[in-house]
Amino acid sequence: MSSPIPLHNTLASGTDWQAALRDLISSPAELCAALEIPPAALGWSEAARQSFPLRVPRAFVSRMRRGDPRDPLLLQVLAGAQEMQPAPGFSADPTGETGNANPHPGIIHKYHGRVLLIITGSCAIHCRYCFRRHFPYADNQNSRSEWSTALEYIARDESISEVILSGGDPLMANDKQLAALVTQIAGIAHVRRLRVHTRLPIVIPQRITESLLQVLTPSRLQSTVVVHSNHANEIDTEVAAAFARLRAAGITLLNQAVLLAGINDSTAAQVALSERLFEAGALPYYLHLLDRVDGAAHFEVDRAQALALHREMAARLPGYLLPRLVQEVPGAPSKLDVGT
């Protein structure tokens, strides 16, 4: 087997988040070499990779255990043969985000009082369980004039008090683009809160720059960043430092995770995640049952097992470290607490 490639270069370990973004692995052979794992043990599928490309920054790969084909971070990005097996009950739109919920390109409006803006279809990392892996991003791209129309939609609906930036990953947009959008959102009088759903502080913590923090903290809006971490091993010192910068800017910091078979479906893994999040400055918010998207059936944890796990977590954690166990059901007025 070839020698392992370096997991960091001088640019990726610095403050240039765009350089870190470019420093990624998209080849299964390269991933095998980096982790010193024989290709046969890795179990990747070229067909799955063609369906949904492999994409993982080296900074994230550096947190994986070398020589371990069952590493919980690796399994989240590995394009495996199980993705190609059809599964009853799984679909391209498991959360009902198309049709009436998508009234204008770039807008998803499912719940009262809040609306979600699809800023970009791009992500720094391709997570194999992604519920939007089949989302029609091409139909949800906006030109500058079309964004004005989307914002007019928000301005007309005075019930909307919160705007959520999502994607893809909204922080893939540059600061100038985000600043223009956030300024316009802040100019809508009935919008009081700004929320950002992002995995970039986990995957490329260099993205949390002083310039970005200024963008995300307009004086009139309360700002919340909801990060996405599924395992304690994802949160290293650089991620914790990014969290600290967010908190120092007055931003509320929450985490949402997905319950994933073979990755974090144990009491030990979930307790470690909640405790590590809190140590780094984020509160556990949601633990989602898997959204049943085509290609992700092998990640599903059944409802009874999830409930038993959540009860064990409750017995081990103080209430403020226990995330809500939730499920998203198409047509429901909100996320639903599992077991209630």
pLDDT tens readout for residues 73-101: 999 999 988 989 889 998 888 777 787 77
- DSSP3 helix / strand / coil % (the chain, rounded to 5): 40, 15, 45
- CB neighbour list of residue 237: distance below 8 Å, 6 or more residues apart: none
Write down the mean pLDDT value for the chain: 90
Instruction: Look up residue 144 and give its two tokens.
Output: 């500058």
| C-alpha to C-alpha distances, 193 to 117, 150, 182, 196, 221, nearest whole angstrom | 14, 17, 11, 10, 5
pLDDT in tens, 246-256: 999 999 999 99
- The structure tokens listed for 168 are 């893809």
Matching residue, tokens 């995770």: 257
Tokens of 325: 């166990």
φ, ψ for residue 212, nearest 5 deg = -65, -40
pLDDT per position as a tens digit, 62-72: 999 999 999 99
* pLDDT classification of 3: cutoffs 50, 70, 90: very low
For β-strands 252-258 and 222-227, DSSP reports them as: parallel
Provide CB contacts within 8 A for 293, sequence distance 6+: 90, 91, 92, 94, 129, 130, 131, 132, 133, 134
pLDDT value, residue 139? 64
Structure tokens at 100: 């009436």
pLDDT recorded at residue 296: 93
Residue range 115-136: average pLDDT? 87
Please give the Cα distance from 45 to 185 (Å, whole number). 43
Q: How many residues does the chain have?
A: 340
Q: Is residue 276 exposed (0-12), middle (13-18) or buried (19+ Cβ within 10 Å)? A: buried
* pLDDT tens, position by position, 29-40: 999 999 999 988
CB 311 within 8 Å of CB 266 = no
- pLDDT tens-digit readout, 127-164: 999 988 776 666 667 666 678 888 999 999 999 999 99
pLDDT of residue 2: 30
**Residues in Cβ contact with 34 at an 8 Å cutoff, skipping those fewer than 6 apart:** 4, 5, 7, 25, 58, 61
What's the whole-number mean pLDDT along residues 257-270? 98
Q: What is the pLDDT of residue 15?
A: 53
Using only C-alpha atoms, what is the Rg of the chain?
20
The residue behind tokens 């209630």 is 340
pLDDT tens digits, residue range 153-211? 999 999 999 999 998 899 999 999 999 999 999 999 999 999 999 999 999 999 999 99
Find out whether 210 and 239 touch, Cβ atoms under 8 Å: no
Query: pTM for the complete prediction?
Result: 0.92
Q: Supply the DSSP symbol for 52.
A: S
pLDDT score, position 143: 64
Considering only residues 28 and 104, tell me which one the structure prediction assigns the higher pLDDT: 28
6-56 pLDDT, tens digit per residue, is 333 333 333 589 999 999 999 999 999 999 999 889 888 888 888 889 999
Helices (H), the chain: 17-22, 28-35, 39-42, 46-51, 58-61, 74-77, 144-156, 175-186, 200-203, 210-215, 237-248, 267-280, 303-316
